């Protein structure tokens, strides 16, 4: 199987993970969800900590929002778009050899390390155009100039920008039924019910008993 190296030039290069520093909430001594709850949210027993339903409003909402986003992400899948988006737009040819391809999205693929050919990939920007055939054309021309080669537009699979814009794009799809049936979601519902009960008791007016005296 041929190994394809992808270059998109739209994302910064990865950096080493920074050392952990205390967050503002940790410095203030605010509630922090235990590491075990983050790494294994389905099995962590929240009863081992301060009840989440009784936290200050800001902390409660912060945790609830984070847990809801995590639940949704666990049931989110990327639905592929039209397959024509991934078909070749152009090939870059040097001395009769195809050194790279650019697909209709404007993503570069190659089975060789283009840096070894003296190409500065950091300078291949695509003119900061959004993804699509127009970006693919600019990228192909930049690559060809850098490599001293030529651009061969694949007329059988290359799209124009107007056609590309009409095609279905990849999109994130949430499986709401599976998410609602997830035990983690049921746990969240229990937390919200407990919060409502806690707030009801917290805001209920105190009952003052009436003490009757006995006449002497």
Query: What is the C-alpha to C-alpha distance for residues 188 and 194, in angstroms, rounded to an integer?
Result: 10
Predicted TM-score of the model (pTM): 0.53
Cα distances (Å, whole numbers) of residue 152 to 32, 52, 100: 56, 61, 11
For residue 21, what pLDDT band results from cuts at 50, 70 and 90?
A: very low
65 compared with 45, residue with greater pLDDT: 65
CB-CB contact of 105 with 132 (8 Å): yes
What average pLDDT does this structure show over 16-35?
45
Closest by Cα among 82, 96, 126, 130 to 108 = 126
Domain boundaries, the chain: 29-79+173-201, 81-169
What average pLDDT does this structure show over 178-189?
90
pLDDT at 104: 95
pLDDT tops 60 at residue 44: no
Mean of the per-residue pLDDT values of the chain: 77
User: How many CA within 13 A on the CB side of residue 130?
Assistant: 3
Query: What is the C-alpha to C-alpha distance for residues 140 and 150, in angstroms, rounded to an integer?
Result: 9
pLDDT at 121: 85
48-90 pLDDT, tens digit each: 567 888 888 999 999 999 999 999 999 898 888 899 999 999 9
CB-CB contact of 101 with 76 (8 Å): no
CB-CB contact of 87 with 157 (8 Å): yes
pLDDT at 149: 87
Cα distances (Å, whole numbers) of residue 160 to 12, 81, 155, 172, 185: 28, 17, 10, 25, 45
CB-CB contact of 146 with 124 (8 Å): yes
pLDDT tops 50 at residue 42: yes
| Contact partners, residue 81, CB within 8 Å, separation at least 6 | 167, 168, 169, 170, 171
pLDDT tops 70 at residue 19: no
CB-CB contact of 121 with 70 (8 Å): no
């Amino acid at each position: 199987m041929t190994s394809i190296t992808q270059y998109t030039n739209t994302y910064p290069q990865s950096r080493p993970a920074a050392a952990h520093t205390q967050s503002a909430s940790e410095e203030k001594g605010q509630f922090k969800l235990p590491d075990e709850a983050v790494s294994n949210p389905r099995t962590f027993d929240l009863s081992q900590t301060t009840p989440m339903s009784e936290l200050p409003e800001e902390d409660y909402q912060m945790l609830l929002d984070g847990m809801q986003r995590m639940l949704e992400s666990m049931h989110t899948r990327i639905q592929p778009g039209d397959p024509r988006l991934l078909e070749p737009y152009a090939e870059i040819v040097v001395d009769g050899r195809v050194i790279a391809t650019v697909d209709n999205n404007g993503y570069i693929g190659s089975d060789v390390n283009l840096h070894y050919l003296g190409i500065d990939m950091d300078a291949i920007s695509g003119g900061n155009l959004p993804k699509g055939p127009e970006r693919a054309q600019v990228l192909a021309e930049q690559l060809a100039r850098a490599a001293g080669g030529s651009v061969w537009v694949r007329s059988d699979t290359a799209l124009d920008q107007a056609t590309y814009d009409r095609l279905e794009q990849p999109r994130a799809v949430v499986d709401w039924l599976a998410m609602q049936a997830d035990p983690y979601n049921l746990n969240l519902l229990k937390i919200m019910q407990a919060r409502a009960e806690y707030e009801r008791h917290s805001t209920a007016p105190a009952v003052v008993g009436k003490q009757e005296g006995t006449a002497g």
